[in-house]
Structure 1
Amino acid sequence: MSDPLKHECGIALLRLKKPLDFYLKKYGTAFYGLNKMYLLMEKQHNRGQDGAGLANIKLDMEPGERYISRVRSNGQKPIQEIFQNVNARFEEIEKENPALLKDLDYLKSNAGFTGEVFLGHLRYGTYGRNSIESCHPFLRQSNWMTRSLLVAGNFNLTNNDELFNMLLKIGQHPKEKSDTVTVLEKIGHFLDEENTSLYEKFKPLGYSNRDVYNTIADQINIEDILKRSSGDWDGGYVMAGMIGHGDAFVLRDPNGIRPAFWYEDDEVCVVTSERPVIQTAFNVSIEDIKEVKPGHALIIKKSGDVKEVEINPSTKVTQCSFERIYFSRPGDKDIYKERKELGRLMLPQLLKHIDNDVDNSVFSFIPNSAETSFYGLIKGLEDYQNEVKFDLLKEKGGNLSDEELKSILSRRTRIEKIAIKDTKLRTFITQDDGRDDLVEHVYDITYGTVNENKDNLVVIDDSIVRGTTLKKSILRILDRLNPKQIVVLSSAPQIRFPDCYGIDMAKMGDFIAFTATIELLKEQGKQNVIDEVYKKCKEQEGLPKEQIKNYVKELYAIYTDEEISNKVAELLKPEDNKSDVKIIFQSVENLKIACPNHTGDWYFTGNYPTPGGNKVVNKAFINYIEGSNERAY
């Protein structure tokens, strides 16, 4: 994606199921769990670079001994900073006495992060402050182990205002209005109620206070707590948590919008946001890894027992297709295949726009995240070239000279590395003054790769949201090669609607497809259509989210995809570009073919899986018309 977006966060939960001396004897280190957490987080660093956090719980600690450790960072390299911070204590111990690094009793009593349950988080802040207080895991601490709670998630809730008001009604006074705090306090409230209920059940039976709380730790019903906490959440989420005595859980939204995968053997139970991470860290096959079912929770008891249970019934599974197009790393077997197919499926549209003139076309990709879809496009082109060769050979029969035969067989798709991103320059660009001039030079061009005024230059991007980098940088740079025309392919469809489940796409004016549609309507004297949609949206402002309809769809219904794409090209073409510019978007139909199991396409179609989505698009359009720069949720 040439315009970078902030998006889904990443989680990693690890439970060591054996006593710590098992890992010391088998793997030669007391830090087996900590080392695995570093791998699980580092291999997901693509999911969050605004901040990171790590927490650990030690099991069966005596009163007065610290059993929860937590460290967070919002620095430039948060993962490295976290583990440097953790390892600093072990370096002190090593200087004092190296043998203590294998003394498990000493480590559990004197050093943090030497417990059995780990929770890590990588943060992309979709909005709000990027302070250390915004980094997960969040901690709700108590003097009672079974009431202490840590939560970290990959989520956005559309009805945070409703949930906040519910907390007020039950007598709470949350310290802030963020959805993370709301979730933490909601779960915490029902965790407190569960503790109180169990205490009142067992205390009259003659148990001592300490025995009562040991019994609570065994009997606490995580399933019921999660059902009571999450029944009214509207949004996409994977919520992970640890309770002070050692229970842990990962809860997934009923629509399966946000991803979660897990693996269990007799040594560990692990949950992450991406599947290949587990494969890499634990060297296990893809068949051994399961996906947390939509609407279900994976519950890991202090005893080590693991179960997956339904929390909220799943009525319509709509897993996020952007995970497949862009966000997740392409190392996943299925994602790699799907991204290649997204590229291959663009071939018919492309051939139409270049009049099948493959011989006089050069193919490349921008940025690096589009590389996999580029491979699929090239595979399609190779198949096309073979068909052309076959037809030529069949047509000529045996009347070909050696030179003619060599000429036919030598037909190749022309692949070049056209643009290289200057990452150091990108990091340098922080000031508004002179920013445009610097942005134009974010990419270096490879000169001499295009026959001037003769070749089509075709580049594929994985998606186009705002188009800012295309207009201010990429198209200007490509134009220096003097191609006959520049064709930009987007392996994702036109992004027309805001997301409210994790991706930083909340304002209508940020979408070049929306801007193009509004421009078309105004140019063609159809301002009345815009006014009518605005009126319908305003009339819904006070309605419950369940009654709101997405009337913004009516703006797009007037035009074909190609008409909007042509207008997008017109808007993004720099004024001084000499080459003609065409932009081709993937069709929604092809997206469904390439990614059949991930049907979440609301940013393309406006078909939101939860009522809160319609509320968000309604508000986003009103904000746009009224000139408000506020987010819609």
Structure 2
Amino acid sequence: MLSADDERGRATADGGRVTEWFVTPAPILGAHPDMCGIVGAVSNEPVAQLIYDSLGLLQHRGQDSTGIATAEGSVFHLARAKGQVREAYRTRDMRKLLGTMGIGHVRYATAGKASAEEESQPFYVNAPYGIMLVHNGNLTNVRELRGDLFDVDRRHMNTQSDTELLLNVLATELQAVISGTHLDTDQIFTAVERLHERVEGSYAVIAMIAGYGLLAFRDPNGIRPLVLGRRESTLTGADWVVASESLVPEASGYDVVGDIAPGEAVFITLGGEMIRKQCHPAPRLIPCSFEYVYLARPDSTMNGISVYDARLRLGDSLAATIARYSPMDDIDVVMPIPDSARPSAMQVARRLGLEYREGFYKNRYVGRTFIMPGQAARKKSVRQKLNAMPGEFRGKSVLIVDDSIVRGTTSREIVEMARQAGARRVTFASAAPPVRFPHVYGINMPSRAELIAHGRTIPEANDVLGADHLVYQEVEDMKNAILAGQSTVTDLEMSCFDGRYVAGRVDEEYLRWVEETTVS
């Protein structure tokens, strides 16, 4: 079981499906600094403000750079910049973003160079017709694609971004199926079908085709999310928005139509007509578990599962594990690490009959430490982001609940802060299981040597963490908690917890290549 007192902690809780090569850490040359938020809209009104506001709602998904593109007829307008949304765009930028169709992106880079502004999205290609594209996810066959695009398709790549690869695959396949001078939806959907045959990994995509409309599609496993919203218009047709999370259409006054299905493509014409088609012969819905654990906002619903309710259930199951393996007679109070751990911590306190207190004050003007490139930046930002209030800690045995423990940098600093604030004893609990393996589908955890739980038992991880006691959620408990109460989703992408990669050819050679080519 996954407690710090259990010497069987080296085993994963997945029934032994992980192969032997995961055991020994590989040398690391750097950190793979694309967790992203994306949005697209077609309206009867100018969309620049809607895209800007939507990106602000998705800021938690990326703070490295941002970009907005709009279409005024067949003319594209583009503004891209490093940094957060509210700081990136000036009035002159917004004034030039004319048009009633647009896309936007917030980026935290996991592929390519985190500091390179030229890798900010959207990406553009001028043929066929002109396409602008944004993408959330990571492709796992980038080496093969890069070779094919150059040797066979004669296309030049100007960056290391897999989004540029994805755009050029789409453009190549669209060019190949066009007959005549007019583009129709059958040709668009055929191009997406052919793209699915070539591309491996995770991808939620929104693209504008100049003079025609907005295209959105999702990988055949549905790893990364994409939600469709609709609003009745007083003019011709309806207004549409597509985004990474349901909070975007909801906050903007749109009705949530539902999730774009795995392998499905949706095309929205400039006149507001929506056409959708399944473009993969064998789609399956296996969404990323980390969306529910940490990445998504709690007020979002993805694949029919409320993120907030899932986190409450994670707290319920974590409480049962804590009760089994922790010294319950010596815990005075339960405290969350704000904000994403709060629902789970509240349920832990409720289930265990313990007092719930807010011992850490969060500075909301510092970015999420998990999505800051580089260990040094993460460590420095912890104490700028959180402050422990001594009155809540002094002389108490505290149970601190966090959503997850990845590298351990933040958690170790938090344990130390609790002790400095006067805590007599610190028990640390994670609402997620141990992160033992790299995540290659768009979450920033590709390097095994950086993961505190990789190659360590739970007691060994706790030695690094410095708590008196460490408790993790178990893998099956996490899965059951997220999936409870519905039947649409029956499996989750949990590779960072169980080492099972559901998309692409992810083997030891691939993981070593990823680790050796990452950037800090």
Q: Same fold (TM over 0.5)?
A: yes
Q: Which residue of 2 aligns with 1:594?
A: 481
Whether the 8 Å CA contact 2:141–2:504 is kept in 1: the answer is no
Q: 1:610 aligns with which of 490, 503, 508?
A: 503
Identify which range, 123-132 or 154-163, moves more after superposition.
123-132
Per-residue Cα deviation, 1:393-434 (whole angstroms, up to 9, x for no partner): xxxxxxxxxxxxxxxxxxxx3222222245678899999999
Q: Which residue of 2 aligns with 1:84?
A: 91
Please tell me whether residue 40 in structure 1 is matched to residue 24 in structure 2: no
Q: Which residue of 1 aligns with 2:4?
A: none
The 5 Å alignment of 1:523-542 reads none
Kindly tell me: are residues 268 and 366 of structure 1, through their superposed partners in 2, closer, same or farther at Cα, counting changes over 3 Å?
A: same
Q: 2:253 aligns with which of 276, 282, 292?
A: 282
Please tell me whether residue 52 in structure 1 is matched to residue 66 in structure 2: yes
Identify which range, 486-495 or 416-425, moves more after superposition.
416-425
Q: Which residue of 1 aligns with 2:465?
A: 572
Letter in 1 for 2:400: V
Q: Which residue of 2 aligns with 1:313?
A: 281
Per-residue Cα deviation, 1:93-119 (whole angstroms, up to 9, x for no partner): xxxxxxxxxxxxxxxxxxx43322111
Q: 2:314 aligns with which of 342, 357, 361?
A: 342
Per-residue Cα deviation, 1:490-513 (whole angstroms, up to 9, x for no partner): 001111111111011111101111
Q: Which residue of 1 aligns with 2:7?
A: none
Whether the 8 Å CA contact 1:54–1:82 is kept in 2: the answer is no
Q: Which residue of 2 aligns with 1:410?
A: none
Instruction: Could you tell me which runs of 5 or more consecutive residues in structure 2 were left unpaired when the two chains were aligned.
Output: 1-30, 484-488
Higher helix share: 1
Whether the 8 Å CA contact 2:41–2:102 is kept in 1: the answer is yes
Q: Which residue of 2 aligns with 1:585?
A: 472
Query: Could you tell me how far apart the structure 2 residues matched to 1:427 and 1:228 are?
Result: 37
Kindly tell me: are residues 279 and 431 of structure 1, through their superposed partners in 2, closer, same or farther at Cα, counting changes over 3 Å?
A: closer
Secondary structure of the structure 2 residue equivalent to 1:147? coil
Kindly tell me: are residues 250 and 7 of structure 1, through their superposed partners in 2, closer, same or farther at Cα, counting changes over 3 Å?
A: same
Query: Could you tell me how far apart the structure 1 residues matched to 2:388 and 2:451 are?
Result: 27
Aligned residues: 470
Kindly tell me: are residues 5 and 352 of structure 1, through their superposed partners in 2, closer, same or farther at Cα, counting changes over 3 Å?
A: farther
Kindly tell me: are residues 217 and 459 of structure 1, through their superposed partners in 2, closer, same or farther at Cα, counting changes over 3 Å?
A: same
Query: Could you tell me how far apart the structure 2 residues matched to 1:350 and 1:514 are?
Result: 22
Q: 1:193 aligns with which of 176, 201, 204?
A: 176
Letter in 2 for 1:295: G
Q: 2:163 aligns with which of 166, 172, 180?
A: 180
Higher strand share: 2
Per-residue Cα deviation, 1:362-382 (whole angstroms, up to 9, x for no partner): 11012422112112222323x
Q: Which residue of 1 aligns with 2:391?
A: 448
Kindly tell me: are residues 128 and 446 of structure 1, through their superposed partners in 2, closer, same or farther at Cα, counting changes over 3 Å?
A: same
Q: Percent identity?
A: 25
Query: Could you tell me how far apart the structure 2 residues matched to 1:438 and 1:225 are?
Result: 44
The 5 Å alignment of 1:22-37 reads 31=46, 33-37=47-51
The 5 Å alignment of 1:78-227 reads 78-82=85-89, 84-87=91-94, 89=95, 112-129=96-113, 130-141=115-126, 147-176=129-158, 177-195=160-178, 197-198=179-180, 213=181, 216-217=182-183, 221-227=187-193
Q: 1:504 aligns with which of 444, 448, 451?
A: 444
Kindly tell me: are residues 482 and 7 of structure 1, through their superposed partners in 2, closer, same or farther at Cα, counting changes over 3 Å?
A: farther
Whether the 8 Å CA contact 1:73–1:79 is kept in 2: the answer is no
Query: Could you tell me how far apart the structure 2 residues matched to 1:249 and 1:476 are?
Result: 49
Per-residue Cα deviation, 1:440-473 (whole angstroms, up to 9, x for no partner): 6764222233463xx42100010001101222x2
Secondary structure of the structure 1 residue equivalent to 2:281? coil
Query: Could you tell me how far apart the structure 1 residues matched to 2:438 and 2:375 are?
Result: 26
Kindly tell me: are residues 171 and 342 of structure 1, through their superposed partners in 2, closer, same or farther at Cα, counting changes over 3 Å?
A: closer
Whether the 8 Å CA contact 2:335–2:400 is kept in 1: the answer is yes
Query: Could you tell me how far apart the structure 2 residues matched to 1:275 and 1:254 are?
Result: 20
Letter in 1 for 2:351: G
Query: Could you tell me how far apart the structure 2 residues matched to 1:361 and 1:484 are?
Result: 10
Kindly tell me: are residues 221 and 436 of structure 1, through their superposed partners in 2, closer, same or farther at Cα, counting changes over 3 Å?
A: closer
Query: Could you tell me how far apart the structure 1 residues matched to 2:495 and 2:376 are?
Result: 36
Please tell me whether residue 467 in structure 1 is matched to residue 442 in structure 2: no
Per-residue Cα deviation, 1:61-115 (whole angstroms, up to 9, x for no partner): 6xxxxx21111111x334543353333x4xxxxxxxxxxxxxxxxxxxxxx4332
Per-residue Cα deviation, 1:256-293 (whole angstroms, up to 9, x for no partner): 00000002244301100001211111154xxx431000
Q: 2:76 aligns with which of 52, 57, 68?
A: 68
Letter in 1 for 2:275: K
Secondary structure of the structure 1 residue equivalent to 2:461? helix
Q: Which residue of 2 aligns with 1:521?
A: none
Whether the 8 Å CA contact 2:60–2:368 is kept in 1: the answer is no
Higher RCO (CA 8 Å, separation ≥ 6 residues): 2
Deviation at 1:229, TM superposition (A): 2.5
Secondary structure of the structure 1 residue equivalent to 2:387? strand
Please tell me whether residue 372 in structure 1 is matched to residue 343 in structure 2: yes
Secondary structure of the structure 2 residue equivalent to 1:70? strand
Query: Could you tell me how far apart the structure 1 residues matched to 2:384 and 2:61 are?
Result: 26
Letter in 2 for 1:457: V
Kindly tell me: are residues 299 and 432 of structure 1, through their superposed partners in 2, closer, same or farther at Cα, counting changes over 3 Å?
A: closer
Query: Could you tell me how far apart the structure 2 residues matched to 1:435 and 1:117 are?
Result: 37
Query: Could you tell me how far apart the structure 1 residues matched to 2:380 and 2:162 are?
Result: 38
Whether the 8 Å CA contact 2:229–2:254 is kept in 1: the answer is no
Whether the 8 Å CA contact 1:242–1:249 is kept in 2: the answer is yes
Query: Could you tell me how far apart the structure 1 residues matched to 2:373 and 2:206 are?
Result: 35
Query: Could you tell me how far apart the structure 1 residues matched to 2:284 and 2:376 are?
Result: 48
Whether the 8 Å CA contact 1:234–1:610 is kept in 2: the answer is yes
Kindly tell me: are residues 242 and 601 of structure 1, through their superposed partners in 2, closer, same or farther at Cα, counting changes over 3 Å?
A: same
Whether the 8 Å CA contact 2:341–2:403 is kept in 1: the answer is yes
Query: Could you tell me how far apart the structure 2 residues matched to 1:42 and 1:35 are?
Result: 11
Deviation at 1:478, TM superposition (A): 1.1
Whether the 8 Å CA contact 1:147–1:191 is kept in 2: the answer is no
Query: Could you tell me how far apart the structure 1 residues matched to 2:244 and 2:320 are?
Result: 34
Whether the 8 Å CA contact 2:111–2:162 is kept in 1: the answer is no
Kindly tell me: are residues 83 and 239 of structure 1, through their superposed partners in 2, closer, same or farther at Cα, counting changes over 3 Å?
A: farther
Query: Could you tell me how far apart the structure 1 residues matched to 2:41 and 2:142 are?
Result: 29
Secondary structure of the structure 1 residue equivalent to 2:358? coil
Q: Which residue of 1 aligns with 2:22?
A: none
Per-residue Cα deviation, 1:294-319 (whole angstroms, up to 9, x for no partner): 01111123443212211123443210
Please tell me whether residue 327 in structure 1 is matched to residue 295 in structure 2: yes
Kindly tell me: are residues 5 and 500 of structure 1, through their superposed partners in 2, closer, same or farther at Cα, counting changes over 3 Å?
A: closer
Q: Which residue of 2 aligns with 1:238?
A: 204
Instruction: Could you tell me which runs of 5 or more consecutive residues in structure 1 were left unpaired when the two chains were aligned.
Output: 21-30, 62-66, 90-111, 199-212, 386-412, 517-563, 574-579
Q: 1:414 aligns with which of 355, 358, 367?
A: 355
Letter in 2 for 1:590: D
Letter in 1 for 2:192: L
Kindly tell me: are residues 320 and 441 of structure 1, through their superposed partners in 2, closer, same or farther at Cα, counting changes over 3 Å?
A: closer
Q: Which residue of 2 aligns with 1:257?
A: 223
Q: Which residue of 1 aligns with 2:23?
A: none
Letter in 1 for 2:68: L
Q: Which residue of 2 aligns with 1:522?
A: none
TM-score when normalising by structure 1: 0.68
The 5 Å alignment of 1:545-556 reads none
